[in-house]
Amino acid sequence: MALKLKHLLTQRGVSANGLARATALNSGSMSRFLNFGVWPKTPSEGELRLRIAEHLGMPAEQLASHFEHDVDLQPQDGDTHPAADAVTQPEIDLMLLRKQTLTREARQHFRIARDPFDESAIQSDADVFVNDDIRHVRAAMRQTARHGGMLAVISESGGGKSTLRHDLVDWINSNNEPITVIQPFVLGMEGKGERGKTLTSIDITGAVIRKVAPGTTLRASQQDRYDQMQAVLSASAQVGRKHVLVIEEAHDLAVPTIKHLKRFYELQDGFRRLISVILIGQTELERKLSEQNPEVREVVQRMEVVTLPPLDNHLENYLRHKLARAEVNIDAVLDASAVDEIRTQLRTTITERSSAGQRATRMASLCYPLAVHNLLTSAMNAAVRIGAPRVTADLVAAAVRAS
């Protein structure tokens, strides 16, 4: 029988996967715990209760009753995901997620001097592929950094969010924009134990002070540090600087931290706002920013949300651009049928569940840059092994079957 904790996670927009990361559990252990009340061997029961309470920002004693079984949340047959997940994650072939590297033989075969899909291949603005969707998200990020506001950039894993974050910083530096970018240490949001600790508002405050006024000694109390941050931001703004707080992996932020972002956004010197906020995260962030969640409603009402969709109809132009940056013509690498097959192989069925427990399935695209890179790289390596001159649809399909 499921725990009441599942219902609480739904109310707070916290995913089971996010809670698993924050408590240093694997997803299977978390699923058994939430669905059947099976406590893991490690950490101890007391330690796990404390980790969950810290991640949810609740006193441990207030959370105690949620570890009881809930007769209204019994898992259905075959149910391996908690009710907290509005979407059951698709069964994605591991090959599509695991890093694939273009072999030396493949580079020689296709006459490519460097791997066009390696992250280090992006060296300048010209290396960034842009279509209408990406152009819109890029413009939203630049406008927020320059003119203020709160923005959330949402995409699936490997959807190109980090590339646009690097693009924003490069644009600021290349154009000598008077904007200071504050990026709190992302690994701080991975939970506790060997994974670190949850990123809190006082951590963000410290990051702002250290970036804007290097060498400043941080004050101890939270209120004193907040006042200190406002003072250094005001002094910086008076000499013409603007400031943008950029938090990547923001889907791992605790709900109380998201709620506190309103205080950062409201910092002003007269009519001039002192700092803007950009959150970058996976689709779990969009669920956390639901207007149905009363804890974050005041933040959501002030935040613009933009989404990076899959490449889909832009796939051929994307691959043409990536290969051209490596000085290779797409026709020398891909048969005409290969692009459509990549798009087909990167479609999957997703099961969605309503709050009433009803399920529905729909087709979804996984045609995001990282999955495309790994699938095509695997097919290119396979082409060399069999002596094929180009990647064909059959080779793309075979790469998936062989994974």
pLDDT digits (tens, 9 = 90+) for 204-220: 999 999 999 999 999 98
- The pair phi, psi for residue 286, each rounded to 5°, is -60, -40
When mean pLDDT is compared across 31-40, 266-275, 391-400, the lowest value belongs to: 31-40
What confidence category does residue 46 fall into, taking pLDDT thresholds of 50, 70 and 90?
confident
Distance CA(338)–CA(354), nearest Å, equals 37
pLDDT at residue 244 above 90? Answer: yes
Architecture of domain 94-116+326-401: Orthogonal Bundle (1.10)
Identify the burial level of 361 via C-beta atoms within 10 angstroms of its C-beta, where 0-12 means exposed, 13-18 middle and 19 or more buried.
Answer: exposed
Of the pLDDT bands very low, low, confident and very high (cuts 50, 70, 90), residue 82 is very low
Specify the DSSP class assigned to residue 274: -
Q: How much is the mean pLDDT over the chain?
A: 85
Confidence bin at 40 (pLDDT 50/70/90): confident
**Mean pLDDT in residue range 177-196:** 66
User: How is residue 179 written in tokens?
Assistant: 């904007």
Fold of 123-307: Rossmann fold (3.40.50)
Nearest CA to 96 out of 351, 378, 391 is that of: 378
pTM for the whole thing?
0.73
Bond into 43 cis (ω within 30): yes
Sequence ranges of the domains in the chain: 5-84, 94-116+326-401, 123-307
5-84: in CATH 1.10.260.40 = yes
**What is the rounded CA–CA span in Å between residue 179 and residue 190?**
28
Chain centroid to CA 267: how far?
26
Q: pLDDT digits over 311-359, tens only? A: 999 999 999 999 999 999 999 999 989 999 999 999 877 766 665 667 7
| Torsion angle of the four alpha carbons 64, 65, 68, 74, in this order, in degrees rounded to the nearest 10 | -120
Q: Comparing 230 with 15, which gets the higher pLDDT?
A: 230
Report the pLDDT value the prediction gives residue 183, as an integer from 0 to 100.
94
DSSP label of 38: -
Query: Pairing state of beta strands 303-307 and 347-353?
Result: unpaired
